[in-house]
Amino acid sequence: MFLVLTMVRYVEYFSGLLSGSIRINSSPLYLSHVTVLGAPNFIPSGGCRAFIKVYEGLVPVYTSGVHSVGPDTREFTVNLGRPGLQLRGDILLKCYHRNYTVDEELSPGSSIGSSSTATSQRELVFACQFHTCAVTYHTLTFTRTELDSACSDPRFPTDGAVQLHFAGLERRGPPPAPTPAVPVDTSADHVTSWDSYEHLDLTPQLSPDSDEERAGGNFTK
């Protein structure tokens, strides 16, 4: 069901803009912290090693360290610092669980060989996509049923949720303070830095009968 919920959300955005129930926010937002309610269970003993990636228009703009989430953790926070990460437009946030292979445990500095290797060393926990024009409050909450991937994954708590906290919204008061953080590993990591979209070809596909192709033209990114 990946991105199905996102498509539904964007239809609701469009409907709200047409009806006037959503007022466009044209100012940039500052994402100060992300709070995950509940502990996803991606480790046999419970918990996970979570990190998040933030994309602005499919361009990676932030990667967190790896957060060690224990099975008894009620919630954990990824703090993006002050004044926060400036965002505008179409935003995609993805949370992964960091797997460690036997080779990595024996040799922590080992390098990645291919994108397929990176995929096996991380698993998607959840993803959510939104547009800043529709955000008018400091906290944007996604329940489990609103999170792509997590909505159908039994490893994500049934009562779990994700809260995005923003600064920079005038006359709305300060954003809520972050919850106590869990241990974070911020050392360089080839798996967390690997970008899912770095090789995405956005060049339009031309049909054999297109005028551009017959004329020998081409598109540039």
Question: How big is the chain by its Cα radius of gyration, in Å?
Answer: 19
- Return mean pLDDT, the chain: 76
Q: What's the pLDDT score for residue 4? A: 62
Cα separation, 189 vs 157, in Å, equals 27
Query: CA 142, CA 6: separation in Å to the nearest integer?
Result: 11
Q: What is the pLDDT of residues 126-143, one digit of tens each?
A: 999 888 887 877 889 999
**Model's pTM, two decimal places?**
0.74
Comparing 9-13, 59-63, 206-210, the range with the smallest average pLDDT is 206-210
Q: Which residue has the higher pLDDT, 151 or 133?
A: 151
Is 70 exceeded by the pLDDT of residue 11?
no
